Amino acid sequence: MWRAVMIALTMLVAGAAHAAPSDCKGVPSPDERIVCNDPLLSALDTVLPRVQEKAEKERKVETRQVLRDFKSDRSACGSDRSCVLSTYIAILGELGGPKSIPADITASAIAAGRAKPSPTLPMKIGQCTVTNVTGVHPRVGEDPVKDEDYNAGTGIEYANDGYQVSYAREEALIASKPGDKVTMCLISIPKRCPPGDDRGREYFVTNARTGQSWAMADSQHACGGM
């Protein structure tokens, strides 16, 4: 799997317009040291400027705020590789969409063997748990469900009281079935939220049966209703 990931990233890196933003020549911070010494993280770090450049052409101010938040989150990770990897998955998905996340990266890659079954959601960026799917349904609509109902969006529910939703038709979610075991990792926590409003937490999930992965938030809107 990792060979496929690295081949795909190498192709992306070859077309990148900028050098890697992490400081590998000076005195790196703990998070920078992790990136500099890890081939996968280094490759993701090198791809990020190209994704950033494209995003800035469409929404410059928003993109720069997202990057500031990313750097803050990554710095807070310190030397926690699972946390650092989560921040890259989150920002690549946010700035470039799902296709910017290498398809072969899984929640198990984040968990690094540390994900355990839990009745509760992961609470820290980079933390992963194992749970089960309890339901998949269209974002809106009523029973009986028709296939075209998913065209308006898709929702999925988990045994740990987790929920994810998308405005798009999500084939990976539709292929999931109640009872499927999944590994779920928290990759992003929204900032500048009103008190008591924590909507918009993003999770990266891999279905053990189908092998498919997805990154998605727990609400149709981020905190503050945005």
In this structure, the answer to whether residues 37 and 114 fall within a common structural domain is no
Comparing 49-53, 98-102, 218-222, which segment has the lowest mean pLDDT? 218-222
In this structure, the answer to whether residues 122 and 215 fall within a common structural domain is yes
Q: Which amino acid is at 190?
A: P
pTM of the model: 0.88
Per-residue DSSP letters for 124-155?
STT-EEEEEEEEEEESS--SSP-GGGGGG-EE
Q: Which of 71, 100, 129 is the last residue of a domain?
A: 100
In this structure, the answer to whether residues 84 and 140 fall within a common structural domain is no
In this structure, the answer to whether residues 28 and 71 fall within a common structural domain is yes
C-alpha 85/C-alpha 67 separation (Å) is 15
In this structure, the answer to whether residues 217 and 122 fall within a common structural domain is yes
What domain count does the chain have? 2
Cβ within 8 Å of residue 115, ≥6 positions away: 107, 108, 128, 129, 130, 183, 185
In this structure, the answer to whether residues 93 and 126 fall within a common structural domain is no
Q: Which of 82, 100, 118 is the last residue of a domain?
A: 100
What is the reported pLDDT for 98? 93
Domain extent, residue 51, equals 2-100
Average pLDDT on 20-28 reads: 71
Average pLDDT value for the chain:
90
In this structure, the answer to whether residues 68 and 146 fall within a common structural domain is no
In this structure, the answer to whether residues 213 and 180 fall within a common structural domain is yes
What is the reported pLDDT for 149? 94
The residue ranking higher by pLDDT, 1 or 143, is 143
C-alpha 225/C-alpha 118 separation (Å) is 29
What is the reported pLDDT for 27? 77
Q: Which of 54, 77, 100 is the last residue of a domain?
A: 100
In this structure, the answer to whether residues 90 and 118 fall within a common structural domain is no
In this structure, the answer to whether residues 76 and 113 fall within a common structural domain is no
In this structure, the answer to whether residues 154 and 205 fall within a common structural domain is yes
In this structure, the answer to whether residues 65 and 156 fall within a common structural domain is no
* Residue 9: pLDDT band with limits 50, 70, 90: low
Q: Which amino acid is at 205?
A: V
